[in-house]
């Protein structure tokens, strides 16, 4: 399976401008799954009442792209539902089949927890024979929530992770891959946001042994996920059989 992520320089609070940038970047690209950053249509913005999708604009864009590319699309967007705001990660398959995950761990350091509502479910989506765990940015710092109970094959992280903490981002992505015997694809934005935070190119894809799998060309980062290779690795190194059994209270 081929996965492509877009290292997007997100235009602050400009949905149509960001939609156009994504279309331009992907015009000549083909893949099974395309990944966009956290809050790809607005930037990581705490002005939820101003920027949140009330007419599902970001979701409509993902559906359109999924049909045009005959591929799955995922990324997160600020969404209002029943009077609450969510940092919602969508996984849209061709045919407009939609799954979504609401970010569980809200970034209190920036006040995200004061504006958005925490998600209550852990979401796994299967597509073309691979089971994907959906995660958003700050979730990466909480390994228990991503613990593999032998129920997924890959973790998809979408993020707005600033350059000043990028070392943690890279090390934790690799750790999640190794400890869960899984593929891990971490897609980060680039550029400078409306709060003057800078984001360097730092997207990665790691194999279960910690090996880097990503190929980078401009703003495109790609990787091939081979399930036969993963199954063989898991069969040889059966570390998940020794994991602790526990329950997370959501």
pLDDT of residue 249: 82
Domain with 185, as residue range(s), is 2-242
Q: Which residue has the tokens 């209270």?
A: 249
Catalytic annotation, residues: 38, 103, 137
Say how many CA atoms lie within 13 Å of 60 toward its Cβ: 7
pLDDT of residue 246: 82
Model-level pTM?
0.97
Taking alpha carbons only, the member of 55, 33, 235 closest to residue 134 is 33
Asked whether residue 79 is assigned to any structural domain, the reply reads: yes
How is the chain classified by DSSP, letter by letter?
Answer: -EEEEE--BPPTT-HHHHHHHHHHHHTT---SEEE--TTTTT-S-S-HHHHSBSS-HHHHHHHHHHHHHTSEEEEEEEEEETTEEEEEEEEEETTTEEEEEE-SS--GGGTHHHHSPPP----EEEETTEEEEEEEGGGGG-GGGG---S--SEEEEEE---GGGHHHHHHHHHHHHHHHTSEEEEEE-BEE-TT--EE----EEE-TTS-B--EEETTEEEEE--HHHHHHHHHH--GGGGPPP-----
pLDDT band at 172, cuts 50/70/90?
A: very high
Number of domains within the chain:
1
pLDDT of residue 196: 98
Percent of the chain with pLDDT over 90: 96
pLDDT in tens, 113-143: 999 999 999 999 999 999 999 999 999 999 9
Taking alpha carbons only, the member of 41, 132, 136, 59 closest to residue 98 is 59
Asked whether residue 113 is assigned to any structural domain, the reply reads: yes
Distance CA 243, CA 179 (A): 10
Asked whether residue 196 is assigned to any structural domain, the reply reads: yes
pLDDT band at 248, cuts 50/70/90?
A: confident
pLDDT of residue 245: 87
Distance CA 207, CA 243 (A): 19
Dihedral (C-alpha) 41, 42, 44, 47: value to the nearest 10 degrees?
-140
pLDDT in tens, 62-82: 999 999 999 999 999 999 999
Asked whether residue 248 is assigned to any structural domain, the reply reads: no
Give the distance, in angstroms, between the CA of residue 210 and the centroid of all CA atoms in the same chain. Answer: 19
pLDDT band at 54, cuts 50/70/90?
A: confident
pLDDT of residue 247: 86
Asked whether residue 208 is assigned to any structural domain, the reply reads: yes
Asked whether residue 249 is assigned to any structural domain, the reply reads: no
Distance CA 118, CA 120 (A): 7
Distance CA 80, CA 71 (A): 26
Q: What is the CATH number of the domain that holds 157?
A: 3.60.110.10
- The whole-number average pLDDT for the span 218-232 is 99
pLDDT band at 55, cuts 50/70/90?
A: confident
Asked whether residue 250 is assigned to any structural domain, the reply reads: no
pLDDT in tens, 89-115: 999 999 999 999 999 999 999 999 999
Q: Please, are residues 153 and 182 in contact by the beta-carbon 8 Å criterion? A: yes
Identify the bridge partners of residue 115 per DSSP, sorted by sequence position.
none
């Amino acid at each position: 399976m081929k996965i492509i992520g877009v290292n997007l320089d997100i235009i602050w609070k400009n949905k149509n401008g960001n939609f156009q940038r994504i279309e331009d970047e992907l015009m000549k690209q083909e893949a099974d799954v395309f990944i966009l950053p956290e809050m790809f249509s607005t930037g990581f913005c705490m002005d939820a009442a101003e920027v949140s999708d009330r007419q599902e604009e970001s979701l409509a864009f993902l559906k359109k792209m999924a049909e045009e590319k005959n591929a799955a699309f995922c990324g997160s967007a600020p969404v209002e539902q029943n009077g609450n705001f969510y940092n919602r990660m969508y996984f849209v398959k061709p045919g407009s089949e939609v799954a979504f995950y609401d970010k569980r761990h809200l970034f209190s350091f920036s006040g995200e927890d004061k504006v958005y509502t925490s998600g209550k479910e852990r979401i796994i989506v299967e597509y073309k024979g691979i089971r994907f765990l959906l995660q958003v940015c700050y979730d990466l710092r909480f390994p228990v929530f991503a613990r593999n109970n032998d129920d997924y094959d890959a973790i998809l992280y979408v993020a707005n992770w600033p350059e000043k903490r990028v070392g943690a981002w890279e090390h934790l992505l690799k750790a999640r891959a190794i400890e869960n015997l899984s593929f891990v694809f971490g897609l980060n934005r680039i550029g400078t946001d409306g709060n003057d935070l800078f984001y360097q190119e730092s997207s990665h894809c790691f194999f279960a042994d910690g090996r880097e799998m990503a190929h980078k060309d401009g703003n495109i980062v790609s990787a091939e996920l081979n399930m036969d290779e993963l199954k063989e690795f898991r069969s040889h190194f059966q570390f998940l059989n020794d994991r602790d059994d526990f329950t997370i209270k959501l």
